[in-house]
Amino acid sequence: MNTSEDSYFGKIIILILLAIAAFYGFKTALPPRLFPDQVTSNSNIVMDSMMLEAVSDTTEMAIADTTEVAVRDTLNNNQTEAVDETLDPSIRAQGYNNLKHFYAKLHVLEQDKTGKVRVAYFGDSMNDGDYIVQDVRSEFQDNYGGQGVGFVAITSLSANARGSVSHQHSKTWTTQSFVKVKKPARPFGIDGQVFFAHGEGNWVKYRAQSQRHSTSLFRPTLFYGRSANNQAYVTIQSGKDSIVTKELNPTKLLNTLPVASTTKSLQVNFHKTDSIPIYGFNFDDGQGVHVDNYSMRGNSGLPLSILNVNLMNAFDDVLNYDLVVLHYGANVLGYGTLNYSWYEKNMTKVVENLRACFPNADILIISTADKATKIDGVMQTDPAVVPLANAQKNYARKTGAGFISLYSLMGGEGSMAKWVDEKNLAGKDYTHFNATGSKKVAKLIYDEIGKGFSKYKEEHLNE
């Protein structure tokens, strides 16, 4: 290599070093979240696999979206229905119209004291241990009747912490969850999990607690899936009654087995049930309002897009849902981005899948709560909260869903810091509510649903 070439490459190296130095110089002068050194983490938050993939694929997704839109517009030539950007999907505004089916069923129950209404409440760690959901359930059952805690899984990370029902299980169960696995051995159940009992020693216990409307295990019914196994059976002890044996008949995509009459406690042992997908138990009295908690730690909401439509239709044939609630946010914040268009797009697909899964149900979106982050030494609203809440409102608008801004109901800017430091309603992670705070949030949500119901009745009675 001659002297001129040495000089040329030397200049290139110097330019590269100057560029790197300039980048870091500008980085120190700009907001830190534009160039995060690493994804911020919280020991109380885990992330689902689809969420992680969606974040990492944001750039590729944007390029694909541009191509897809261009091709679609060329082929359809404006045949797609435009979304009215002025429409406010909040149920206290125009969004109550998006819950007409649910409100009509609730109105009949209110007027005639007949019929029943069922709600599927999907959420994340905010609802772990039945937090928020148990108090929403109690509010509805106080006013419209209904007894029972609803659907409960076979195992749960929060089984020991749940106050609405005592839940114990053997450690021998194999669990597959849609926050970790995309292709399960058998389709995921309605809560995004499927359980398998291999060999012997597999059992589950439930005991009713003192929470109002859940003081008994009403009409316990086992839900399980299809298998060629024709040797399986369960042994059941209800309260102090003698042990009863019942065979499983796993011939349908979804099978149900009433295991006992209403009781205070229940233990079910599973025998020779290898290869049979087990989903959980339902406890309800068959009248009034029932609210099922399908929350899961680490769930961003995106895994709901892979629920099997045929199996969900089978669940819906039995449980008959009138409203599906999507309450997410805690696992979506903290990625060093203020652009949530990727989340808006993917959650739009989630709603489309849920409408296929539960065709008679209305959809209600509950936004992220406020979350506080230390900025300049002071706990303030995380900069990502408002952009995420706006994205959630946007996909509610696009999908014809109702919307509740939990962020606004809490008090908006700076509210989480106040809920923690002044009101003692949330934990020191400035993300999750404590028991008292969860009860308050449940009342805020229930009252907001009630405001939409009042608007519905005003319109309905004037027709």
Give every CB contact of residue 43 below 8 A, 6+ residues apart in sequence: 429
pLDDT at 55 over 80: no
Q: State mean pLDDT over 118-147.
A: 96
pLDDT at 163: 86
Query: Exposure string (b/e) for 125-159, b if CB count within 10 Å is 16 or more?
Result: bbbbbbbbbbbbbbbbbeebbbbbbbbbbbbbebb
335 vs 431, higher pLDDT: 431
What pLDDT digit, counting tens, does each position of 131-140 carry? 999 999 999 9
Encode pLDDT of 392-420 as tens digits: 999 999 999 999 999 999 999 999 999 99
What is the Cα–Cα distance from 329 to 431, expressed in whole angstroms? 10
pLDDT reported for residue 48: 60
- Identify the three-state secondary structure at position 244: strand
**What is the model's pLDDT at position 12?**
64
Share above pLDDT 70 across residues of the chain, in percent, rounded to a whole number: 81
Distance CA 154, CA 151 (A): 10
**Residues 319-346 pLDDT 10s:** 999 999 999 999 898 777 799 999 999 9
pLDDT digits (tens, 9 = 90+) for 227-270: 999 999 999 999 988 899 999 999 999 999 999 999 999 999 99
Residue 359 to residue 114: CA distance in whole angstroms: 22
Rounded mean pLDDT, 84-105: 93
* Band (4; pLDDT cuts 50, 70, 90): low
Tokens at 258, concatenated: 């009433």
Tell me: pLDDT of 431 over 70: yes
Question: 432 pLDDT exceeds 80?
Answer: yes
Q: What is the pLDDT of residue 2?
A: 54
